[in-house]
Structure 1
């Protein structure tokens, strides 16, 4: 049992891993089920050692079979428990039926109605497995609602029942678990969208599946967290000078929104840019910014292309607005052929030109609503499958995409990285502007667009986590400026 793994899988991919272990490598399927039950017993004993009575809710498939194995092991350990069969036991098949029979032969008793006569300390959700892809309705929905209403801690088997293991979407209703033990491969849906709110603490038990199974079935989705920063951050030569790293030009800040561009500029400086210039659409002569940032007047339209082409990296969008002047700036940026980060209104303007194709050194950083505009679909459709939406944007615009949100996704249209760092305190205005600056600063260190986006997202989230420990939900976007140096000290 482990907490971390870099490879993340869809439900279909884990199903193939399971098949390969059984058919190609000769692992008996019932052995896998028994290993799953043993892993569940370990979690129960380690996480809830004081639990006097465990209720195991069993469905009809292999997930239910895992529950029956756990029940047998609880029985053999002399632990107080009850088993609720959500599916009539006469309908059980294959390994699940064998697991139920072994439990009954060991002296176990199965209830068909909720056991009202006992006080339950822990509920084990073995109702639905990772293959669920339909809405939960009727008696099953009522059962899940009752589990949630008890207020009793729940341990989910593989995935919380009702949660899509591939996308993190809830199929109508799902068990809110305090912990999840997932099997064979880490399910990607546990880490994005609604997954983290329902899965709780997640552990992985690979069930001793042979390593060759994973080598034969690679995945293109992998996990990022704060530990990846040191591995991705370039080492600076001692002879480095500001010209060793690209100059960043931040473009945005219409009247009243200057602060968005200021946040991005400061973050770019903190994240590795050799020099940062700030150009705003505001007519204010001077904006309160760091003295390290060079503020330059917005050039006339004839000089726009030259200004953009002279940049080492462009970051355009924070506070930009959607005026004709903003559109002219965006057009100039897209013709500059330099690494570019597009955010906020730059994305909204881009969405109005669906035929536009960008260079592979461009990074788009939409939140779900902006992603929906870029694809011409609803926000709900984006959230229903964030992985598919991110890939679709990357392929449509030929760019690297950061789809923001819980479990932010980074993709170049082929590989997908999922960042697990970050916290609810970061749900405030300006956080996206800071992220734009951080990614621009990483691009200034001569990283590829995909690597810069991965490093930037990780560093931004890690700085947010440091700030959250100090300030909780009172966190401001500008607070990250004080924590980014701590994050980037990883390679000092």
Structure 2
């Protein structure tokens, strides 16, 4: 009796590095030179990983349908198809019938033909029953709308009932920025090779990418020697960012945060920012708002200090007292608000500008290195005199332009929030979900980031850490309760887990021990 071949489990480990598309070819070539192999041997590894991935994740799939393009992405598909056919799978391979663009892909194409592999044209009818579709049409290099042949195949695959595995990137999704100007594959899984790409993490990626997997193709030791141009941050970093406090620390050590805003009818925004700062560990939080807001706030949260925004002497004293300043949540655009913004714009203290403050910033020439700004795409379009579609079509480009124009640290919010600064540091927060599309989420984020800045984090690290804490907390809530109906204030219930990751780990260990005892 022959033993069944065991396919090892693929973990969903993702690296903390992202490489721009224009550097990928050099990275790949340097990698094969480092290993002393050829590009075709690397393609063989990729094809083998495709086969392993499908065999593990869809073990009952008997009929595999491959869609192969003319480039190296198609070459990976030809290799995987060959392995599948040799292994006894029923394989249908659809080719776009265009001239092959690389010698490696030509080798792979010939290897497929050498085992009597058949080619189905793009206009031919597909078999009735297909268990898995492998999208190897377009790779990471496309920068235009797929032509008619590719678009027809993409649409046909999307309408099919079978799950789809995309090789490296769903065809039609731009790997450089997550833009989708035409048709694109809605993948069930995406298997990324060598490096993660920006378009897999930000922009419209989450609509198309499905579950993202990564394989380094044996280049791990080589890649560890390289400094990645873009960092990918998720909740696994929290234990590195948050260190235990000294036993002798006191409230004065943990940051004096001044928050200014809360126009009439907008008191909720400034309250959520203040509450988020306290829940993130600020030592002292003071609000400046309108007189009518003082009693409701102090009743709801007596730990907050509060004073009248209309008193100039109070403003001067408060600015002198504060370690970090937040302005914008619910601020409004009254003459008083504009006057306060002008005064604060010349301060050299660390500060965060959000919401209404960003509208004012767009009207003045004020570039500063001591400021974090946190625009959503609509606010970013005003700051750059652009439109929302242009911002969303290339979020990395927009973030860099915001840094060049306004300085400091930029937090471009959205799916795959981008953090960038004047030193050239760029990070993408790979957390968060569609449940966060509700009022007040940005106000909470501002409080979290500013609190961390007051606790000694650099502005860039405060922004990165704050975005991860914010998104990871929302992810836990939606994983437990679903995405619809999530409120910004719901995050306050569990923020402690993410700003005290050591306590979260201890609690998980205690749960495990308890389960073992009762069993």
TM-score by length of 1: 0.95
The DSSP-based 3-state class of the residue aligned with 1:315 is strand
In 2: Cα distance, 1:18 partner to 1:185 partner: 9
**For each residue in 1:27-84, what CA deviation from the matched residue of structure 2 results, as whole angstroms up to 9, or x when unmatched?**
2011011100000001110111111211000000111111100110001100112000
In 1: Cα distance, 2:310 partner to 2:154 partner: 61
**1:334 Cα shift?**
2.1
Please say which of residues 476-485 and 2-11 is displaced more in the overlay. Answer: 2-11
In 2: Cα distance, 1:136 partner to 1:301 partner: 60
> Equivalent residue for 2:466?
456
> Equivalent residue for 2:327?
316
In 2: Cα distance, 1:241 partner to 1:92 partner: 65
Aligned counterpart for 2:281 among listed residues 268, 272, 290: 272
In 2: Cα distance, 1:182 partner to 1:451 partner: 27
> Equivalent residue for 1:377?
386
Number of residues of Structure 1 aligned to a counterpart in Structure 2 = 488
**For each residue in 1:80-113, what CA deviation from the matched residue of structure 2 results, as whole angstroms up to 9, or x when unmatched?**
120001124x646411111111111112111114
1:239 aligns with 2:248: yes
In 2: Cα distance, 1:12 partner to 1:61 partner: 16
Label 1:93 to 1:449 Cα distance change in 2 as closer, same or farther (>3 A): closer
**For each residue in 1:219-262, what CA deviation from the matched residue of structure 2 results, as whole angstroms up to 9, or x when unmatched?**
22011111111211243100011111211111111000000000
In 1: Cα distance, 2:450 partner to 2:101 partner: 56
Is contact 1:20–1:213 with CA below 8 Å preserved after alignment?
no
Alignment of 1:146-225 (within 5 A): 146-209=156-219, 211-212=221-222, 215=225, 217-225=226-234
Aligned counterpart for 1:126 among listed residues 126, 136, 156: 136
Label 1:292 to 1:161 Cα distance change in 2 as closer, same or farther (>3 A): same
Is contact 2:377–2:412 with CA below 8 Å preserved after alignment?
yes
Alignment of 1:66-77 (within 5 A): 66-77=76-87
**For each residue in 1:335-373, what CA deviation from the matched residue of structure 2 results, as whole angstroms up to 9, or x when unmatched?**
3321111111111110111x2122x33111110111111
Is contact 1:166–1:189 with CA below 8 Å preserved after alignment?
yes
**For each residue in 1:248-291, what CA deviation from the matched residue of structure 2 results, as whole angstroms up to 9, or x when unmatched?**
11111100000000000000001121011111146444224312
Is contact 2:242–2:500 with CA below 8 Å preserved after alignment?
no
Label 1:92 to 1:448 Cα distance change in 2 as closer, same or farther (>3 A): closer
The DSSP-based 3-state class of the residue aligned with 1:331 is helix
The DSSP-based 3-state class of the residue aligned with 2:378 is helix
1:489 aligns with 2:500: yes
Label 1:93 to 1:461 Cα distance change in 2 as closer, same or farther (>3 A): closer
In 2: Cα distance, 1:93 partner to 1:407 partner: 33
> Equivalent residue for 2:7?
none
The DSSP-based 3-state class of the residue aligned with 2:410 is strand
Unaligned runs of 5+ in 2: 1-9, 504-519
Label 1:305 to 1:351 Cα distance change in 2 as closer, same or farther (>3 A): farther
Aligned counterpart for 2:150 among listed residues 136, 140, 151: 140
**1:23 Cα shift?**
5.1
**1:213 Cα shift?**
5.6
Is contact 1:361–1:448 with CA below 8 Å preserved after alignment?
no
